[in-house]
Chain A
Amino acid sequence: MFFQLLINGLIAGSIYALIASGFSIIYTTNKFVHFAHGSTATVAAYFLYWIFSNFGLPLYLVFPLTILIAALFGFLVHLLIYLPLKKRKSSSVILLIASLALMAFFDNLMQLLFGADVKILSIFPHGKGIEILGAYITPIQIVILIVVLLLFFGLWAFSKYSKLGKIMRAVSDNPELAKTTGINSIRVQHWSFVIGSAIAGLAGILIALEHNIEPAMGTHLMIQGFTAAVIGGVTSIPGSIVGAYVLGLTENFGIWFLPSGYKSAIAFVLLLIFLIIRPQGIFGINQGNRDQKM
C-alpha cells in the first residue's frame, strides 16, 4: 500500500510539476497569474487527439508537432491578448481577469469543437503494469517519471547556465532595472510564454496518454499547478517543482486516512496553510531590505 501510494504520489507530482514549472516561468518574467496556462495543456491534448485520429502521422512527428503548437498557442495568447493590455498599462489584476476569461473561452471552445464527452487516446494500450515491491506501475507512468526528470534537469541547466536563462532571471528579479540594462523585456516575455507553453504542451501529451481528454482537464490541472507553485515559491522554478511533488504525495498519502473524494480538499487546505504561514513558499527568497528596488 505504501509503495503504491508513493508511486501514485510521484506520478501525480510529476504532472503537477509540468504545469507548475511552466506557470512559474511565465509568472516570474511577467508578474501576473496566467490562469489560462492550463488551457494550453487542454488545447495541446485535443490537438494531439485530432491529428492522431485524422492523419495517421508517425508518433515521432506527432509529439513534437503538438509541443510546437502549444508553444505557438502561448506565444499568440501573449502577443494578441496580454501584450496589448500591458501596453495600455493594465494592472496585474486586469491581466488575471483576462486570463480567467481566456480559460473559460478555450475550455468551452474545445467543448464546442470536440463535444463534452471524454476522449480516449489509445496510442499505447494500458496494460496491467509492472510490479515493484507490491506496487503496480504502467510503462507510460515510467515514461512520465523519466521524461519529467530529464526535463527538469534541462530546465535547471538552462536557467543556471544559458544566457537566455540568466536574462529571464534578471527580468524576473527586477524588470525596471532589466530595461535600463538594455534588455528587451518584451522579447524575454515572449520567450517565457513559448517555453512555459511548450512544457504545458508536453503535459498535455502525457496526461492524454495517462488519463483521458476532456474540456475541463486544464482547469483542474491549473488549480493543482497553481497550488504547487505557491507551496514551492511562485518565483522559484525549482521550488514550484518541489511543491508539485509535495502536493502529489500529500494528496495520495492523504487518501490513506480520508476517502479519495477529499483529494482536492487536501490540495486547498495545503494552499491555505502555505498562504498563511509561508506565503513566499519553500524556496522563495526573502532578500530583505538591503537590496533596494527602484
Chain B
Amino acid sequence: MSLLEIKNLDAGYEDLNVLKDVNLKLEKGKMSVLMGPNGAGKSTLLKSIFNITTITSGDIFFNNKKITKLPAHKLMDLGIAFVPQGKVNFGILSVRDNLILGIHKTKDKTIIEKKLKEIYKQFPILKEKEKEYAFTLSGGQQQMLAIGRALMSSPKLLLMDEPSLGLAPKLVKEMFESIKNIRDNFDTTILVVEHNLKSMMNVADDGYILVQGEMIAHDSCKNLKNSEVMKKVFVGELE
C-alpha cells in the first residue's frame, strides 16, 4: 500500500515553475532516494509535500487523504516530518529544547521523556550535549539534532534533504547507517534527497530520478544501479 502519492504535480516558486507533471508513489516502510543533477527540483519536490512552495496543479495524497496545500503544522499532526537542507536547528535554544520542539503539541511529560530517551539512544552524543546551545554543535552533531527533532514526533513519513551535505566522508557513512536504523527501528517510511549516490543506493530500497523538473525513472535501487538511465544522467558517478 502506498503511504504517499503525488499525482501530476506542477510546482515552483511564484512565477518560476520547477516541477512538471511529477508522479511519485512511496511504499510503506521503505526508504526511497530521490536523485538528480543540480537544479533538477529535488528540494522543491520535498518542499512541495510540505507546502512551502507554490503549487500550481496536481495533488498529493497521504494515506489516501488529500493533503495538497495543507499548512505545515497540520502535516505534522498527520505524521509527516521534514529535515531541511543544511543542518538547520534553533541555534539559540538548547539541544534538549530543540528536540522537545519536535513534539511541542504534546503535553504529557512522560511521553516527552520517553521520546527523548529513544533519540538519545540513537544519537548518544546529543545526550552528552543536551544542555548546550545548538549552535555550538559540530556539523555532524547538528545534522543528528535536526533528524532527532524530526523523529520526536514518531513520523510515519520522514523527508530528508541531503543529510550528508557538508559532512566528512566517515560521518557520511555513519549518517546513512543511522538513517537505515531509523527505517528499521522507528517504523518510518523515508524519502531522502542525496548526492552521495553510491553509498545511498546500498542502503535505500527504491530510487527516483528527477531531471529538469521531470521524473524520468523509478525502480528498485538494485535495478537502477546498473541501468542505462543511471549512466546517462550521472556519467561516471557510479563508476
Q: From A176, A179, A180, A183, name the one whose CB has the most chain B CB atoms within 10 angstroms.
A: A180
Cβ A294 vs Cβ B88 within 8 A: yes
Cβ A290 vs Cβ B135 within 8 A: yes
| Shortest Cβ gap from A13 to chain B (Å) | 25
Cβ B84 vs Cβ A180 within 8 A: yes
In the complex, whether B153 has a CB less than 8 A from a CB of chain A is yes
- Give the bracket for the number of chain B residues in contact with chain A: 20 to 34
Nearest B-chain residue to A288, judged by Cβ: B135
A-B contact count (CB 8 A): 82
Nearest A-chain residue to B134, judged by Cβ: A291
A166 to B75, CA, bound (A): 21
Cβ B104 vs Cβ A177 within 8 A: no
With contact pairs A181-B102, A182-B105 given, residues A293 and B92 touching in the complex (Cβ less than 8 Å): no
Cβ A291 vs Cβ B135 within 8 A: yes
Contacts of A90 in B (CB 8 A): none
In the complex, whether A111 has a CB less than 8 A from a CB of chain B is no
Contacts of A173 in B (CB 8 A): 90-93
Cβ A182 vs Cβ B75 within 8 A: yes
Cβ B84 vs Cβ A291 within 8 A: no
Contacts of B90 in A (CB 8 A): 169-170, 173-174, 177-178
A173 to B89, CA, bound (A): 9
CB-CB contacts of B66-81 with A at 8 A, as 1s and 0s?
0000011101110000
With contact pairs A180-B84, A285-B92, A294-B86 given, residues A166 and B97 touching in the complex (Cβ less than 8 Å): yes
Cβ A180 vs Cβ B101 within 8 A: no
B interface with A by C-beta (< 8 Å): 50, 52, 71-73, 75-77, 82, 84-93, 97, 100-102, 104-105, 134-135, 138-139, 142, 149, 153
Q: A170-B90, A290-B142, A294-B85 are in contact. List 17 more A-B contacts (CB 8 A).
A: A166-B93, A166-B100, A166-B101, A167-B104, A169-B90, A169-B92, A173-B91, A174-B88, A177-B88, A179-B73, A181-B104, A182-B73, A182-B104, A182-B153, A183-B101, A184-B71, A294-B86
